[in-house]
Structure 1
């Protein structure tokens, strides 16, 4: 099962390299179901893996001229604030066992996986939908961009998800960026958000198996290299519907497994 997990880790990087998001949607299920990592700890590992992979991807897009630093900072700074609030203040206060109903126990791990599966299903539906014509505004709406950045930080903080599927639409509609630049800028924002979130986890003493973490990250980086090269030849938007169906199936699998078994 672990060998399959390492192979699946390559897909994390490929999706990030091709469409600027989606990697975190796969990371948590891979860590929990293939590597048997506790969901709580998996959110920390996901921040490191996705952040490191996105860092290399953003550098690749920087060389291609696809990074817009000002838009990235307006989005990332409020994201970092909400991430730190969630990871360092709220998340540690959530009890391992939330409540019990008859013989059924609702745990913190259960909550993480159920919310994550709902997030996967929502993301999948947005990816499956046909692309709408790009709407260009007269100028970048930095206030709305920052507000959305704060909200995405909440998702990143609680679930260890980079939030690329939320970041890219925000960059398209509020930063007025074309798709290629939205993908590159999204990777930089994911890098900043994930890195700060992981650093915060280290600060509060989250236990980390670095040998395992670096091994999975190395496979994801291989995938990122492959995805970045493919992005020069393949329109990532054409792959979104196919990836969306895969994520949709995974989302329903997780929620079914957690609720019924």
Structure 2
């Protein structure tokens, strides 16, 4: 295919990636990597290029979601910083594991996460000691407070710490899927509504993607920057639209869509893993 055709395909794919990241808080890297491979990039090039796409797109989506009141910035930054440490360790460990095994592990993880979210949605459980005020989420029981006196719900803080570390480890170990891990973690560990989990996850993804990209600097892997730029621009534009769409959609519909997307990715990844293992 000629370069103009490849760029056109990259724009279309980028639009879908942006909508997924903006509306659902996930799906960027798991979509960007196979798209770049399909456009002729090697696995290492695709992974590096996807980090650029996802970091920029997530940042744009996070800004839009924050303006709409769907981001818990402090928790997102804290979660992202903790997850970053795990991601570095996971990335180092992944180098000793065959790619087919990584794919199989990712498929199993997604099946479990998708199943848990589907069951949770079916039961109609809504978490929450939280309510909206002027369109924003108000947390009635903060995990840590410093004023007027210091107070800490340490068991809950430990739960968040462990969850963020595990998410970072799995993200670094598997290479892709940050959003698919972060959103369920925020849903299950912090009991956030889906729109806030999706918005806050964009902050986490932007941090971890930027750090992972910085860690790859100087590794000698250079993707086709024209294709990466086309993907990035298209996904950034539609991420803003996706984040605005998430603010208008019914949260139950959004939860169902996310669970379905996780299960679809799991099935796709399982097929790739079986092909590689056979």
Identify which of 8, 16, 34 aligns with 1:11. Answer: 16
The CA distance in 2 between the partners of 1:109 and 1:8, in whole Å, is: 24
2:30 aligned counterpart, secondary structure: helix
In structure 2, the residue matched to 1:187 is 202
- Unaligned segments of structure 2, at least 5 residues: 130-140, 144-155
Identify which of 161, 181, 199 aligns with 1:146. Answer: 161
Native 8 Å contact 2:101 2:273 kept in 1: no
Deviations, residues 43-88 of structure 1 (Å, cap 9, x unaligned): 322222212111111000111122222212331222111222334x
Native 8 Å contact 1:128 1:245 kept in 2: no
Identify which of 128, 133, 149 aligns with 2:125. Answer: 133
Does 2:22 correspond to 1:24? no
In structure 2, the residue matched to 1:254 is 272
Q: What is the RMSD computed on CA atoms of the aligned residues?
A: 2.8
| Cα distance, 1:5 vs structure 2 | 5.1
Native 8 Å contact 1:168 1:183 kept in 2: yes
Native 8 Å contact 1:56 1:224 kept in 2: yes
Identify which of 218, 223, 227 aligns with 2:242. Answer: 227
Native 8 Å contact 1:76 1:192 kept in 2: yes
1:232 aligned counterpart, secondary structure: helix
Native 8 Å contact 2:50 2:228 kept in 1: no
Does 2:235 correspond to 1:201? no
TM-score (norm 1): 0.79
Native 8 Å contact 2:104 2:270 kept in 1: no
Going from structure 1 to structure 2, the CA distance change for 1:72 and 1:244 (only over 3 Å counts) comes to: closer
Going from structure 1 to structure 2, the CA distance change for 1:182 and 1:67 (only over 3 Å counts) comes to: same
Native 8 Å contact 2:44 2:221 kept in 1: no
TM-score (norm 2): 0.75
- Unaligned segments of structure 1, at least 5 residues: 99-107
196-205 vs 118-127, which moves further: 118-127
Going from structure 1 to structure 2, the CA distance change for 1:71 and 1:232 (only over 3 Å counts) comes to: closer
Q: Which has the larger radius of gyration?
A: 2
In structure 2, the residue matched to 1:37 is 41
Native 8 Å contact 2:29 2:54 kept in 1: yes
1:133 aligned counterpart, secondary structure: coil
Native 8 Å contact 1:79 1:150 kept in 2: yes
| Cα distance, 1:187 vs structure 2 | 0.7
The CA distance in 2 between the partners of 1:90 and 1:246, in whole Å, is: 27
Native 8 Å contact 2:64 2:244 kept in 1: no
The CA distance in 1 between the partners of 2:10 and 2:270, in whole Å, is: 20
Does 2:71 correspond to 1:78? no
Does 2:55 correspond to 1:51? yes
The CA distance in 2 between the partners of 1:203 and 1:39, in whole Å, is: 17
In structure 2, the residue matched to 1:240 is 258
